[in-house]
Amino acid sequence: MTAPVLILVESQLAENIGSAARAMANCGLTELRLVRPDVEWPSERAAAVSSGALPLIDVRIFDTTAAALADLNYVLATTARARDMVKPVLTPRAGATEIRRRDALGQKCGLLFGPERTGLFNEDLTLADALLTVPLNPAFTSLNLAQAVLLIGYEWWTQGLDTPPVQARYGDSQPATKAELINLFEQMEKKLDSAGFFAASHMRPTMVQNIRNTLQRAEMTEQEVRTFHGIVTALVKE
Amino acid sequence: MTAPVLILVESQLAENIGSAARAMANCGLTELRLVRPDVEWPSERAAAVSSGALPLIDVRIFDTTAAALADLNYVLATTARARDMVKPVLTPRAGATEIRRRDALGQKCGLLFGPERTGLFNEDLTLADALLTVPLNPAFTSLNLAQAVLLIGYEWWTQGLDTPPVQARYGDSQPATKAELINLFEQMEKKLDSAGFFAASHMRPTMVQNIRNTLQRAEMTEQEVRTFHGIVTALVKE
């Protein structure tokens, strides 16, 4: 799996290049191409802002967008707003899927970003295969370069993961078995009987059911079951 | 649909609160609760960094995390690393789904973030229903507060959208009909015949097929078909 190349056209602030590099490193992107950067390069300011990311990134400078894209097969151009261009517009998620699909076919892909103030020039957009727009709150769309890189990179990165959506963590213990849990229920109910907790005996089955359901939902570990045995014992009046 | 409340515990930099507010506005979050902020409040610095977002956000200050969470039903605590806690760990996507599911049931949900340097204290984590961890590049996990807010907010925001993954844009024109396209093919092939382009006549069917496939893939609009008629006419030697 090869990460897409990031191409920044006429970046105006070293700080933005540094924070874009940081977002790249967060998301496993390693190739950065700067077209006519409007900042001195290399830049100490960019390095400082990158929080150690810049040394991990391969940075190259180009005179033209065409040269920066020359070896690529598929390029997505990011735009903040609709442009009068006949070109498909992809969400970051769909774009990441398309890049991964093409990478699997051996195609080299790129993500093209324009100058902070103006966005990409039309002649650069024309060189892209599709447009990519982050669908954020239309009432507040101000998104800086690094944030756009982060969101698009995040979509690319997470599509390569097999992180389970929900992971259970049990610390040093194991989830309790049903036998351990039933034993806790029975011990507890026995002590509650002795303590006269179930005063209205016809309500006992419902109350037992509710207490068991409550503790069942807690999905206790073996250790936690032992702790609750201790709690019950401690509370029993001698 | 009610957006989740963002709770920041002991934030150390006004800049971070401002950029978190900006990320909130990007993602349609409107309630911010600050627990013992380590900055003067209100903060001009935070307002400046928020790029106009802060006035859109309802900000309240609390003395304790418990008070800040008091009216909430379900809280996800963000952690950068595994903690020794028996608690489910969700991805931002799964967390966003869970928040939307609970919101539909009338539950009020929150996203809890800790101090920048230390992350959440264990006693605050204990008040949360589940942990939420952004699965970024393990080789470079440095992610600031606002970036974490942005990624988690983005997952919540985009799950409420019905943005098609791929949108076709046709500008002022309409996609060409097959009749218009076939007419272009035929006109073009007729002129190529006259120009002697298909020198090896047994190859003509394959070449026609390839040219038609190429132009077919361009998914031309009506206007573009007319332009290509003009191109062919212009290129024909008188």
Percent of chain A with pLDDT over 70: 99
Average pLDDT score over residue span B12-35: 97
Beta carbon pairs, A and B, within 8 Å: 144
Q: Phi and psi dihedrals of A102, rounded to 5?
A: -70, -35
State which amino acid sits at residue B229.
H
pTM beyond cutoff 0.80? yes
Shortest distance between the Cα of A219 and any Cα of chain B, in A, equals 10
Average pLDDT score over residue span B137-164: 94
CB A4 within 8 A of CB A111: yes
Nearest to B163 among A135, A150, A170 (CB): A135
Shortest distance between the Cα of B2 and any Cα of chain A, in A, equals 14
Asked if residue A225 has pLDDT above 80, the reply is: yes
Nearest to B140 among A56, A143, A224 (CB): A56
* B170: chain A residues, CB-CB within 8 Å: 86
The verdict on a CB contact (< 8 Å) between A171 and B84 is yes
Q: Which two tokens stand for residue B130?
A: 């589940």
Reported ipTM: the value is 0.90
Shortest distance between the Cα of A46 and any Cα of chain B, in A, equals 16
The verdict on a CB contact (< 8 Å) between A147 and B23 is yes
* B84: chain A residues, CB-CB within 8 Å: 171-172
The verdict on a CB contact (< 8 Å) between B173 and A86 is yes
Nearest to A150 among B89, B97, B150 (CB): B150
* A157: chain B residues, CB-CB within 8 Å: 135-137
State which amino acid sits at residue B67.
A
Residue at token pair 């400046």: B48
Closest CA to A137 of B111, B144, B158, B124: B158
Average pLDDT of chain B?
A: 93
Q: Which two tokens stand for residue A125?
A: 């957009």
Asked if residue B238 has pLDDT above 70, the reply is: no
The verdict on a CB contact (< 8 Å) between A86 and B143 is no
Q: Which residues pair with A59 in a beta bridge?
A: A32
**Best mutation target, B26, B99, B144, to test chain A (most A CBs within 10 A):** B26
Confidence of residue A85 (pLDDT cuts 50, 70, 90): confident
Confidence of residue A238 (pLDDT cuts 50, 70, 90): low
Confidence of residue A80 (pLDDT cuts 50, 70, 90): confident
Nearest to A90 among B150, B166, B170 (CB): B166
Give the pLDDT confidence of A147-183 residue by residue, as tens digits.
999 999 999 999 999 999 999 877 788 999 999 999 9
- Strand ranges, E, within chain A: 5-9, 31-35, 58-62, 74-78, 89-90, 109-113, 130-132, 166-167
Q: What is the pLDDT of residue B171?
A: 77
Residue at token pair 């935070």: B46
State which amino acid sits at residue B197.
F
